[in-house]
Amino acid sequence: MAEQGENMNKTDTAPEPNQDELILAQQRQIEKEISDSIPLVGDKEPITSLNNEYSADNIYLEKIIDLSKKYKYIRRTRPDGNCFFRAFSYANIERLLGKPDEFEAFYKIAESSKDDLVKLGFQQFTVEDFYDTYMEVLKRLKNIENLNDALKELHVIFNEQGFSDYMVVYLRLLTSGQLQKEHDFYSCFIEGDRTVADFCHQEVEPMYKESDHIHIIAGCAALQTCVKVIYMDRGIGKACTEHDLPEGSAPTIHLLYRPGHYDILYQ
């Protein structure tokens, strides 16, 4: 077949310079610089390390003072569009380490999640590898008795691109599954005339797509957990804005949001 193709007369085979491809190449270069300089998930750093990023910005500096009254540490994630899912997935497992009962309860939720996705119409072979990786990671961590060893292992796993990205994908799929399962509820939050399924295919399932409120709410529901998001921007006021998601819940995970990016916070 290939031979047949090569014998075809082509009228125009000279590759023309393509602006679109140049733009994409430049985008790839920027992404590469980010991935070379920032780990997927960083070490815990003192909250005051944020000052270095805003040395000439009084609005942010004042908000960091406010933030430091409530939180001691920050763990940065790579700004690659997956930061919410990576931070959330990491922090969710981290909070379970050293708590065998809670870990076991979550393990059971995760274990049955693939069947739910298949029931919702995901093709089994597209979901399987991500599910298997997710469960393999949970199993590996479950079997480590010493808490510090488990925390170290979690950190290593989340900085191995292959594992880390598969953890992100699976959480994206669980979030998509949650949105589609409760589509009547979530459809009110989707702008335009997109269906919930369209929204999931375009905004949730693809890698590097940034997350909004709706992703977080559905992600929390999928993992049966609660998140507090601290919003820090150049808005008026000395304090950061806080949101517990879902509203009125007792959050176990704390995330710092700065326009376009999520990191993990620790009290």
By CB under 8 A, name the binding residues for other proteins.
Answer: 1-2, 4-6, 8-13, 15, 19-21, 23-24, 27, 81, 122-123, 125-130, 133, 161-162, 165-166, 169, 173, 194, 198, 201-203, 205-209
Kindly name the residue from 12, 36, 83, 201 that is annotated as catalytic.
83
From the list 157, 203, 163, the residue with the least C-alpha distance to 179 is 203
Q: Which helix (H) or strand (E) holds 261?
A: strand 261-266
The nearest distance, CB 163 to other proteins, in angstroms, is 8
Of 71 and 85, CB closest to other proteins: 85
Residue 149 is a catalytic residue: no
The nearest distance, CB 101 to other proteins, in angstroms, is 32
Do 226 and 49 meet the contact criterion of CB atoms below 8 Å apart?
no
Tokens of 142: 């479950």
Provide, for the chain, the percentages of residues in helix, strand and coil under a 3-state DSSP scheme, each rounded to the nearest 5.
60, 10, 30
Of 24 and 105, CB closest to other proteins: 24
Tokens of 245: 């998601």
Kindly name the residue from 116, 243, 244, 261 that is annotated as catalytic.
261
From the list 238, 212, 243, the residue with the least C-alpha distance to 226 is 243
Kindly name the residue from 12, 80, 193, 220 that is annotated as catalytic.
80
Of 206 and 246, CB closest to other proteins: 206
The two beta strands, 227-231 and 261-266, are unpaired
Of 30 and 56, CB closest to other proteins: 30
The nearest distance, CB 216 to other proteins, in angstroms, is 19
The nearest distance, CB 79 to other proteins, in angstroms, is 13
The SS3 assignment for 262 reads: strand
The nearest distance, CB 11 to other proteins, in angstroms, is 7
Of 138 and 240, CB closest to other proteins: 138
- Report the length, in residues, of the chain: 267
Whole-angstrom distance between the N-terminal and C-terminal Cα of the chain?
Answer: 63
Q: DSSP state, 58?
A: H
Of 62 and 210, CB closest to other proteins: 210
The nearest distance, CB 47 to other proteins, in angstroms, is 31
- Work out the angle at residue 113's Cα, subtended by the Cα atoms of residues 115 and 123, and round it to the nearest 5 degrees: 45
Residue 240 is a catalytic residue: no
Amino acid at 152: K
Tell me the C-alpha distance between 174 and 180, whole Å.
Answer: 10
From the list 173, 169, 162, the residue with the least C-alpha distance to 218 is 173
Residue 80 is a catalytic residue: yes
| Residues forming the active site | 80, 83, 261
